Amino acid sequence: MTNLLGMTRARLKAFFGGLGEKPYRAEQVMKWIYRDGVADFEAMTDIAKPLRRRLADIADIRAPGFGPGHRAADGVVKWPVTVAGGQKVETVLIPDVSASGAKRNTLCISSQVGCALDCSFCATGKQGFGANLRRAEIVGQAWRAARLLPPGETITNVVFMGMGEPLLNFDAAMDAVDVFMDHLAFGISKRRVTVSTAGVAPRIYDMAARTDVSLAISLHAARDDLRDALVPLNRKYPIAELLSACRYYLDSMGERRTITIEYTLIDGVNDRREDAEALVELLAGMRAKVNLIPFNPFPAANGCPAAYRRPSRNRVLYFQRQLLAGGLPAMLRTTRGDDIAAACGQLTGAFEDRTRRRARYQQRGLGGPSDQALIARETAA
Ligand code: SAH
């Protein structure tokens, strides 16, 4: 069976071409899938019956399974998603209202089960790598979530800031980006689709050749020695190399676009005055805006380093003021959904296998609270 969900328009056209059908069939089917939410060829009434039957024999429209959503006090919703092999990821919906008063629904999607990069402060990284999601599983998160929104609402923004490193699942992520932007599918503008990377520099060049959606870089440190410790990938692609790739991407995007620099503030680790000064100096002259994310803790049993704490509100604001004083646009990302462990860096996709994971950490001598305590901590409002 060929799964048509997540196929770009070009791929769908090639698929119909291969069947000896006209390319416009791709457009008809795309509208049915994404605008009408139809997964059954029989319902596609502008397609001749024999072709519908043929499609049902050879193809399907198969989204990953969504479990019941967990709703946070602030309206954030997190869904457990079951992908191939029964592995689990998570998708997070962040509703809000933009500065101009428009209703916004940002969907934070996962691109991999777990993650190989093992950033020191990220719960997903502590799980290790599970698998690459397929394009149907990436697009399918948005396809399912769109169906669960209140009537009349749509997904207005997509960010690849869930589990996994999208640029290490490049082809599937880029196909998904195309589908998010296609006006026959989600029709989201390039500015509102954001690929976030821990810094896979060579793939940023590849990305420039393929698309011009927004790019976010998880920087977290302005010095290589510190970044090596926080984001081990930095040893492979150090800051200078990464920023060269960013400049290249900025040039290829043209116009008045900017790159987002994500900076997770960890108390006493990367939030000192000299860290802010180094960041200002590093990004001078670059069209970048900094997104400050106060560190979100996760259970020690899941590998959260004991020394990592969220800085006080004052310290966060002081860091922001220093960046602004240095001429660097910097905004504070409000922590949302942390009462259901849906905030940045808290996603693990593991609702059922906590016991197994705890056992693994205990084997490594990391210990930790009981399952009950863990679950209570993660679900307390
Ligand atoms: N691998 C990609 C996509 C994940 S995005 C990337 O690194 O960009 C997740 C964002 O949340 C990243 O900016 C990440 O650095 C940040 N993050 C991870 N763990 C966090 C934590 N515990 N607290 C706050 N932010 C965190």
pLDDT in tens, 144-180: 999 999 999 999 999 999 999 999 999 999 999 999 9
Q: Predicted confidence band at 255 (pLDDT cuts at 50, 70, 90)?
A: confident
Angle at 42 between CA 30 and CA 20, to 5 degrees: 60
Residue nearest to atom 19 of ligand 1 (CA): 345
pLDDT of res. 161: 97
Q: What SS3 string covers 115-143?
A: CCCCCCCCHHHHHCEEEECCHHHHHHHHH
Does the CB atom of residue 198 touch ligand 1 within 6 A?
A: yes
Cβ 81 vs Cβ 141: under 8 Å: yes
Does the CB atom of residue 295 touch ligand 1 within 6 A?
A: yes
The Å distance, Cα 13 to ligand 1 centre, comes to: 36
The Å distance, Cα 280 to ligand 1 centre, comes to: 21
Does the CB atom of residue 219 touch ligand 1 within 6 A?
A: no
Residue nearest to atom 26 of ligand 1 (CA): 345
Catalytic residues: 90, 344
Q: Which atom number of ligand 1 is nearest to the Cα of residue 304?
A: 22
CA 305/CA 21 separation, integer angstroms: 57
Residue nearest to atom 1 of ligand 1 (CA): 165
The Å distance, Cα 80 to ligand 1 centre, comes to: 18
Q: What SS3 string covers the chain?
A: CEECCCCCHHHHHHHHHHCCCCCHHHHHHHHHHHHCCCCCHHHCCCCCHHHHHHHHHHEECCCCEECCCEECCCCCEEEEEECHHHCEEEEEEEEEECCCCCEEEEEECCCEEECCCCCCCCHHHHHCEEEECCHHHHHHHHHHHHHCCCCCCCCCEEEECCCCCHHHCHHHHHHHHHHHHCCCCCCCCHHHEEEEECCCHHHHHHHHHHCCCEEEEECCCCCHHHHHHHCHHHHCCCHHHHHHHHHHHHHHHCCCCCEEEEEEECCCCCCCHHHHHHHHHHHCCCCEEEEEEECCCCCHHHCCCCCCCCCCHHHHHHHHHHHHHCCCCEEECCCCCHHHCCCCCCCCCCCCCHHHHHHHHHHCCCCCCCHHHHHHHHHCC
Higher pLDDT, 350 or 156: 156
pLDDT in tens, 278-324: 999 999 999 999 999 999 999 999 999 999 999 999 999 999 999 99
The Å distance, Cα 10 to ligand 1 centre, comes to: 32
CA 321/CA 333 separation, integer angstroms: 14
Residue nearest to atom 7 of ligand 1 (CA): 198
Does the CB atom of residue 344 touch ligand 1 within 6 A?
A: yes
Does the CB atom of residue 296 touch ligand 1 within 6 A?
A: yes
Residue nearest to atom 5 of ligand 1 (CA): 161
The Å distance, Cα 291 to ligand 1 centre, comes to: 11
Determine the average pLDDT of the residues in 360-372.
37
Determine the average pLDDT of the residues in 115-139.
96
pLDDT in tens, 170-216: 999 999 999 999 999 999 999 999 999 999 999 999 999 999 999 99
Question: Does residue 373 surpass a pLDDT of 80?
Answer: no
Determine the average pLDDT of the residues in 124-149.
97
Name the pTM for this structure: 0.91
Best substitution site from 165, 302, 344 to test ligand 1's pocket, by max atoms within 8 Å of Cβ? 344
The Å distance, Cα 82 to ligand 1 centre, comes to: 21
pLDDT in tens, 256-289: 899 999 999 999 999 999 999 999 999 999 999 9
Q: Predicted confidence band at 350 (pLDDT cuts at 50, 70, 90)?
A: low
